[in-house]
Structure 1
Amino acid sequence: MKLPILYLASLAPLVAAHFELKYPTSRDGSEEQMTQFPCGGAAQSSNRTQVSISAGSFPVALSMGHSQTAVEVLLALGSDPGTNYNITLHQTFEIQGLGAFCLPHIKFDESILGTNITDGMNATVQVQSNGDPTGGLYACADIQFSSTVSYEEPSSCSNNTGVTAVAFTGAAAERNANESTASGEAQSSSSSSTSSGSSSTSTSTGGAVALETAAWGMLGAAVVGGMALL
């Protein structure tokens, strides 16, 4: 079936991009620098997204520019954490399809963060994916935990029709996305913890929680196949 020219034209910007972090508010950076660890070379932002402590979770919204991508979500505590992204909020999984994708409830608590969460605590979220074809791609958002705000799902937290999420298991889930292929295998050029731009010092296992996506239910960590998101 032939697709309308206007429809194909609308996909062009997506194909040209690797991925974009839509929420929390991303640091300003360029696509050309996305291979730089950490944060795609983007400087720390003064615009920190407020995250509700009482909610115990926050959404991560992305716009995907590759039809198959390995993704994970990491966290670093502090106002200026440098390269210390040692907390895994969500282990590596696969996104298939182009455009909007959202995990509405990235969970956090003291057992995941390894410390008591207090009002005004600063942190930085780093979403990283496999590179194209090797290495990693990185985008960051600076956040602040707050006792006065409530959970709010942004308009960007949605999924394009046909976008699919696949929960990796075993070594594929434990492998950092920057050392993974889109299908969960080890990149041929990656070594263990000495890979350039590697974040393989991650110690928390918060990513072991089930994968939940916008406009859909829970996808158990034992599920190997993908499910189409509405």
Structure 2
Amino acid sequence: MRVSAIVPAVLSLASVSSAHFLMNYPDSIGFDDDKEGTAPCGGFTPDLSSGSKQLVDFHVGGDSLAMRATHNQVTWLFRVTLDGTAQSGWKQIFPIVEQSGLGDFCEPHITLPSSYAGKKGVISVVTDAPDGLLYQCIAANFVSGSIDPPSACKNASITASFVDDSKLSALVSGSASGSGSSSNTTSGGSSSTASSTQSSTAAATSTKNAAPGQLAAWSVSAFGLGSALTAVSMVLAGGALMI
């Protein structure tokens, strides 16, 4: 192979390895590696105005969030707000997940309350990484229904588990309960401030880039998330966290 063909590939890998984390799907409102630690949207301002080029459809009945981590261990928070300035009203939309292993991670079935359909808002992905809290935002046009995971929704050979992360929990004021469900469940728990129930079944092995699946179904009483999310572990069984 010619050296001229190798050099661009090496430079490309070097560029990715220097990044904090990348959004694979949906498109974020912008990415700047030097500003990714700037809350709430990594140094970018959401534009939810009609005709905005930032807006992407997000299906409240089930849609995907896909990222690429460049650290060996990170913790993910997914949150949403109807505040177009992204300054307030953040609600958690999935349990906090710790990823162990470099590379792609996707959750293919993020759900939101059906009442969000027809509205616009901001979805935020925040990671607690070795170099601090890092942020990217998606300007979302919320639509009804669900959509199959895209080709960008894939996983490297990684493991993941539900965990507590006080720094990430401090970034939300409650939970937006979606409508996901599962027939494979274990009992949940409650906290002193709000009751919550989540269900999950651990998978047996991890597989690289297999077909995506749903991590776990969870239901939370209106905007309440308790300590039941702590220490509920799962392992990737291909594509995404599976049930």
Give TM-score, length-normalised by structure 2. Answer: 0.65
Q: Per the alignment, do residues 151 and 211 of structure 1 end up closer, same or farther by CA in structure 2, a change over 3 Å counting?
A: farther
Q: Does 1:61 align with 2:76?
A: no
Q: Is the 8 A contact 2:107 2:214 kept in 1?
A: no
Q: Which runs of 5+ in 2 are unaligned?
A: 1-5, 179-196, 202-209, 218-228
Shift of 1:229: 3.8
What is the alpha-carbon distance in structure 2 between the residues aligned to residue 211 and residue 69 of structure 1? 21
Shift of 1:106: 0.7
Shift of 1:70: 0.8
Q: Does 1:202 align with 2:197?
A: no
How many equivalent residue pairs?
189
Cα shift readout 1:156-201 (whole Å, capped 9, x = no counterpart): 11112x1221222xxx15x343x7xxxxxxxxxxxxx5xxxxx2x4
Aligned letter for 1:164? Answer: T
Q: Does 1:43 align with 2:42?
A: no
Shift of 1:104: 0.2
**Equivalence for 1:77:** 82
**Equivalence for 2:29:** 27
Give TM-score, length-normalised by structure 1. Answer: 0.69
Shift of 1:216: 4.3
Structure with larger RCO (C-alpha < 8 A, sep 6+): 1
**Equivalence for 1:165:** 160
Q: Per the alignment, do residues 228 and 107 of structure 1 end up closer, same or farther by CA in structure 2, a change over 3 Å counting?
A: same
Please say which structure displays the higher CA radius of gyration: 2
Q: Does 1:137 align with 2:108?
A: no
Name the Cα RMSD after superposition: 3.2
**Equivalence for 2:224:** none
What is the alpha-carbon distance in structure 2 between the residues aligned to residue 31 and residue 211 of structure 1? 34
Q: Is the 8 A contact 1:72 1:176 kept in 2?
A: no
What is the alpha-carbon distance in structure 2 between the residues aligned to residue 164 and residue 89 of structure 1? 21
